[in-house]
């Protein structure tokens, strides 16, 4: 049977969504165990920097795309409270019913839509910020999604991306990271979720992904101005913040 990465177009996207439906019940546990909790600091940093760049204390709407189990919206809320920022509405968008079912139980006061990143069911220029954390790598039509992000954001609105990026300049520390990602992580995730394919897909998808420079170019092509790029923990995770022109 062909792997997910060997599929194309709509078939590939459907297989990815089905994979996330399957691992939804154990997704949060697997994430915390595999990252040893360090992803929490990455998410908080992303929220704090975005609030600093946006510079407003009253925000109408934050949309989290590929919201999964709602983790990032929870961090948006916590960090907003700490920063004295008022947010009127949180909206989660994800094509996986299984993931959104978990999110609804965790955060019942948030709004949700079952939809792709390329077909966000929100009006033009309606969101102040849009985030996608460890999800853009799973969007097959990525450039189309970036144009959709631009459509949904208000002028001057921010897109906030956290992702595992491809790195072509590998030193000894990054090679050690790759050993963990390819040899250890899939089996840890596979044991927790009972789905080895899903967590084998993760490191393989990183190797087939774009570089930081490539994503910056794609965002600029979609009408964004880069504001901030930062890598964490031996470049395991990268934060990109861009403003709609």
Give the DSSP H or E segment for 45. helix 39-54
Site of tokens 């609030």:
51
Q: Residue ranges for the binding site?
A: 69, 94
Phi, psi at 231, each rounded to 5°: -105, 150
CA distance 46 to 241: 8
CA distance 237 to 245: 26
First-residue to last-residue Cα distance in the chain: 44
Site of tokens 């004295």:
84
Site of tokens 């040893």:
36
Nearest to 65 by CA among 129, 140, 155: 129
| E strands, the chain, in order | 58-65, 86-94, 111-114, 127-133, 153-163, 224-232, 237-244
Q: Residue ranges for the binding site for S-adenosyl-L-methionine?
A: 69, 94
18 Cβ contact partners less than 8 Å away, ≥ 6 residues apart: none
**Contact in structure between 224 and 245 (CB atoms under 8 Å):** yes
């Amino acid at each position: 049977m062909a792997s997910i990465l060997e599929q194309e177009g709509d078939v590939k996207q459907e297989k990815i969504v089905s994979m996330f439906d399957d691992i939804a019940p154990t997704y949060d546990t697997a994430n915390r165990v595999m990252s040893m909790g360090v992803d929490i600091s990455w998410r908080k940093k992303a929220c704090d920097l975005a609030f600093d760049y946006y510079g407003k204390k009253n925000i109408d709407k934050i949309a989290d795309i590929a919201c999964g189990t709602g983790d990032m919206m929870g961090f948006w809320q916590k960090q907003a409270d700490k920063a004295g920022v008022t947010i009127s509405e949180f909206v989660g968008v994800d094509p996986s019913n299984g993931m959104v079912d978990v999110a609804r139980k965790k955060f019942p006061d948030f709004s949700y839509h079952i939809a792709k990143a390329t077909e966000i069911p929100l009006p033009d220029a309606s969101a102040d910020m849009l985030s996608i954390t460890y999800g853009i790598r799973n969007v097959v039509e990525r450039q189309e999604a970036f144009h959709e992000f631009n459509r949904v954001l208000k002028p001057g609105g921010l897109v906030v991306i956290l992702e595992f990026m491809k790195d072509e300049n590998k030193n000894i520390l990054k090679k050690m990271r790759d050993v963990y990602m390819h040899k250890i992580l899939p089996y840890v995730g596979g044991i927790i979720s009972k789905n080895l394919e899903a967590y084998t897909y993760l490191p393989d998808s990183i190797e087939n992904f774009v570089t930081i420079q490539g994503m910056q170019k794609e965002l600029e092509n979609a009408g964004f101005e880069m504001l901030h790029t930062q890598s964490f923990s031996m470049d395991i995770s990268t934060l990109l913040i861009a403003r709609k022109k």
